[in-house]
């Protein structure tokens, strides 16, 4: 029997789980250097950036954290893509029929609805979320790379610099929005699915009917 | 063994390892960026210009180190056949180029400005640069300093800039001469240049901000 989560899936998950908070905190510190999506002079489109959290102490320190952990994050996403390419996509692909199944699952987990029947490894809400997260990961990597190389054709439009910064920020807000729901589902799904993400324990997720 | 990638990340939690590990990470990113083939940075139209009054000024110690343009000269030294001093008139005698390019600050803002001046590579050719040269280091009237790779120094858009928006540089924008490189971040574009040194080995002083943790290459 194959494990619920292959080594690559688990490694990709935990690399991302560590890298994303570090990228988020250092990114916040970087944003603090210019918390705006407009011009510097005159000040416009200022963003409300909280004072406390951050990583790196100053812009230069935060940037070194950010560009270092971007590699770990990139490695995590590469592992996930590799996993999908070698067949994993069948487990997370959301068929047309499953779209209607998203809401009942969300109702069960977050609104104390009744538990829908589940025959597959991942329920429709999980599938939709994983596809969304993967898209967010790709957006954050592509926009991050573009921001490191703004003197290239991809940022040729005058508006593109701030637009790409905005997309980069939105991708992080997306991860931030995902986290509470993810943690709620992990807690409600019980111990074994969590352990299977740690050890890859055979059959744990199927036994519980959840991951 | 299987956990080695995570152990690598855990290394960042150890204070003694953190600084060298982060500078390695930054160097890795710089090396990757330097490998992407560099063409010509985008050029813009007159209509795209940020008004000069809205062009931010990030000064180091002072916005005006009090350089007298009549008494000013640029000292060219190091790995060149003809070291010597150049007055502003000497630089104005070189072919003049004007470009409308984006100036990107590491803080996250960007403006589109109009810059005029001589190509650094024309001055280097005139000074008889050693073909083995690898770096150009500059020192400024306000004690700011920077250094760039030779590929950037020879880039056709790298200017010894003495004009912005068709007017002589104001003190706050780096009069009488500044570097202007649309392929580098703003902190590399040193103002109030007084010394230009061609070298084969990068000295201990790489850049005012670089020595505090900003990336040295600073290429965009």
Q: Are residues B31 and B7 in the same domain?
A: yes
pLDDT band for A6, please (50, 70, 90 cuts).
confident
The answer to whether A49 touches A32, Cβ cutoff 8 Å, is yes
Per CB-CB distance under 8 Å, the chain A contacts of B183 are: 151
State the pairing for strand pair B84-86/B74-78: antiparallel
Enclosing domain of residue A101: 7-208
Report the side by side order of strands in the sheet with B145-149: B84-86, B74-78, B193-199, B135-140, B145-149
Domain assignment present for A1: no
Query: Rounded mean pLDDT of chain B?
Result: 95
Q: State yes or no: pLDDT of A202 exceeds 70.
A: no
Q: What is the pLDDT of residues A138-164, one digit of tens each?
A: 999 999 999 999 999 999 999 999 999
Give residue A102's region: left, alpha or beta (phi > 0; psi -120 to 50). Answer: alpha
Whether B183 and B203 map to the same domain: the answer is: yes
Q: What is the DSSP letter of B129?
A: B
Count CB-CB contacts under 10 A for residue B79: 21
Question: Are B57 and B103 part of one and the same domain?
Answer: yes
Instruction: Provide DSSP, chain A.
Output: --BSS-HHHHHHHHHHHHHHHHHHHHHHHHHHTS-BSS-TTTT-SB----SS--SSSSHHHHHHHHHHHHHHHHHHHHHHHHHIIIIIHHHH---GGGGGGHHHHHHHHHS--PPPP--SSS-HHHHHHHHHHHHHHHHHHHHHHHHH--SSGGG-STTHHHHHHHHHHHHHHHHHHHHHHHHHHHHHH-HHHHHHHHH--BTHHHHHT--
Q: Are residues B24 and B49 in the same domain?
A: no
Q: How far apart are CA B62 and CA A103, in angstroms?
A: 61
Asked if residue B46 and residue B26 are part of one domain, the reply reads no
Query: In CATH, what number is assigned to the domain containing residue B190?
Result: 3.90.420.10
- CA-nearest of B135, B136, B141, B146 to B187 is B146
Beta bridge partners of B180: B159
Q: Does residue B215 surpass a pLDDT of 90?
A: yes
Indicate if the pLDDT at residue B95 is higher than 90: yes
Complex ipTM more than 0.90, yes or no: yes
C-alpha distances out from residue A58 to A39, B210, B214, Å: 21, 13, 10
Residue B143 lies in a domain: yes
Q: Which residues, at least 6 apart from A55, have a Cβ–Cβ distance to it below 8 Å?
A: A22, A25, A26, A28, A29, A61, A62, A65
Question: Domain check: are B96 and B153 in the same one?
Answer: yes
Rounded to whole angstroms, the Cα distance separating B198 from B188 reads: 16
Three-class SS of residue B111?
strand
Residues B42 and B143 grouped into a single domain: yes
Chain B positions touching chain A (beta carbons under 8 Å): 2, 5-6, 9, 12, 21-26, 28-29, 33, 36, 39, 41-42, 44, 48, 50, 53-56, 102, 104-112, 182-183, 209, 212-215, 219-220
Tokens of A143: 């926009």
Q: Are residues B101 and B193 in the same domain?
A: yes
User: Residue B205, SS3?
Assistant: coil
Percent of chain A exceeding pLDDT 70 equals 93
Structural domains in chain B (count): 2
Give the Cβ contact number of residue A171 at 10 Å.
20
What is the pLDDT averaged over residues B53-78?
90
Within a domain: B177:
yes
How does the average pLDDT of chain A come out, rounded?
Answer: 89
Chain A hits for B2, Cβ within 8 Å: 7, 11
Q: Would the pTM of this model clear 0.90, i.e. be above it?
A: yes
Compute, in degrees rounded to 10, the torsion defined by CA atoms A107, A110, A113, A119: 60
pLDDT number for residue A92: 85
A173-204 in b/e burial notation, b at 16+ Cβ within 10 A? Answer: ebbeebeeeeeebeeebeebbeebbeebbeeb
pLDDT digits (tens, 9 = 90+) for A97-108: 888 889 998 998
pLDDT mean over A126-132: 88
**Dihedral Cα A63, A67, A70, A75, nearest 10 deg:** -160
For residue A178, the number of C-alpha atoms closer than 13 Å in the C-beta half-sphere is 21
Mean pLDDT computed over B127-140 = 98
Structure tokens at B1: 């063994």
In a domain? residue B218: no
Structure tokens at A166: 């905005």
Report if residue B220 sits inside a domain. Answer: no
Contact B109 A34 (CB under 8 A): yes
pLDDT at A174 over 50: yes
- Using a pLDDT cut of 90, give the percent of chain B over it: 86
Q: Does residue B165 share a domain with residue B67?
A: yes
pLDDT in tens, A26-72: 999 999 999 999 999 998 899 999 888 999 999 999 999 999 999 99
- Extract long-range pairs of B67-71: CB within 8 Å, 24+ residues apart: B67/B141, B67/B171, B67/B175, B67/B176, B67/B192, B67/B194, B69/B168, B69/B175, B69/B176
> Looking at the domain assignment, is residue A2 inside a domain?
no
pLDDT at A204: 47
User: For A116, phi and psi rounded to 5 degrees?
Assistant: -70, 155
Q: What CATH number is attached to the domain comprising A83?
A: 1.20.950.20
**Whether residue B143 sits in one domain with residue B89:** yes
- Using pLDDT thresholds of 50, 70 and 90, give the confidence band for residue A190: confident
Portion of chain B with pLDDT greater than 70, in percent: 99
Higher pLDDT, A195 or B213: B213
Range of B15's domain?
1-36
Chain A residues inside the 8 Å CB shell of B29 = 67-68, 70-71, 148
Residue A113: pLDDT band by 50, 70, 90 thresholds?
Answer: confident
Q: What are phi and psi of A145, to 5 degrees?
A: -65, -40
Q: Is residue B217 part of a domain?
A: no
pLDDT band at B61 (very low <50, low <70, confident <90, very high): low
Whole-angstrom Cα distance, residue B182 to residue B41?
6
Q: Do A41 and B53 touch (CB under 8 A)?
A: yes
Q: Look at residue B145 and tell me if it is in a domain.
A: yes
Q: Least CB-CB distance to B220: which of A18, A64, A149?
A: A149
In total, how many domains does chain A have?
1
């Amino acid at each position: 029997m194959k494990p619920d989560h292959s080594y690559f899936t688990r490694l990709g998950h935990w690399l991302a789980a560590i890298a994303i908070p570090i990228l988020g905190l250092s990114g916040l510190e970087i944003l603090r250097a210019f918390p705006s999506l407009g011009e510097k002079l005159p000040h416009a489109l200022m963003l409300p950036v909280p004072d406390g959290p951050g990583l790196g102490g100053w812009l230069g320190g935060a940037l070194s954290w950010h560009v270092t952990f971007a590699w770990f994050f990139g490695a995590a996403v590469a592992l996930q893509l590799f996993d999908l390419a070698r067949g994993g996509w069948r487990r997370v692909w959301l068929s047309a029929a499953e779209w209607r199944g998203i809401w009942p699952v969300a109702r069960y987990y977050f609104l104390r609805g009744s538990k829908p029947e589940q025959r597959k490894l991942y329920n429709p809400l999980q599938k939709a979320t994983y596809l969304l997260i993967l898209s967010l990961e790709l957006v954050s990597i592509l926009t991050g790379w573009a921001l490191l190389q703004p003197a290239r054709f991809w940022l040729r439009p005058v508006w593109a610099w701030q637009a790409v910064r905005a997309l980069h920020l939105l991708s992080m807000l997306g991860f931030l929005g995902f986290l509470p729901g993810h943690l709620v589902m992990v807690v409600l799904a019980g111990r074994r699915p969590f352990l299977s993400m740690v050890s890859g324990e055979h059959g744990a997720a199927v036994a519980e009917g959840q991951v | 063994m299987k956990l080695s990638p995570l152990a690598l990340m855990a290394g960042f939690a150890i204070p003694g390892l953190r600084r060298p590990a982060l500078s390695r990470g930054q160097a890795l990113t710089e090396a990757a960026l330097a490998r992407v083939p560099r063409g010509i940075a985008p050029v813009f139209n007159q209509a795209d210009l940020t008004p000069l009054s809205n062009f931010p000024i990030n000064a180091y110690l002072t916005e005006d180190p009090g350089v007298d343009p009549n008494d000013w000269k640029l000292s060219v030294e190091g790995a060149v056949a003809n070291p010597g001093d150049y007055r502003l008139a000497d630089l104005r005698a070189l072919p003049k180029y004007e470009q409308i390019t984006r100036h990107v600050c590491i803080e996250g803002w960007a403006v589109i400005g109009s810059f005029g001046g001589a190509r650094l590579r024309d001055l280097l050719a005139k000074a008889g640069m050693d073909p083995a040269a690898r770096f150009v280091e500059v020192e400024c009237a306000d004690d700011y300093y920077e250094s760039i790779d030779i590929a950037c120094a020879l880039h056709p858009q790298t200017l010894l800039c003495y004009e912005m928006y068709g007017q002589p540089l104001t003190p706050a924008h780096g009069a009488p001469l500044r570097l202007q490189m649309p392929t580098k971040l703003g902190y590399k574009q040193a103002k109030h240049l007084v010394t230009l040194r061609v070298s084969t080995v990068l000295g201990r002083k790489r850049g005012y901000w670089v020595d505090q943790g900003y990336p040295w290459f600073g290429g965009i």
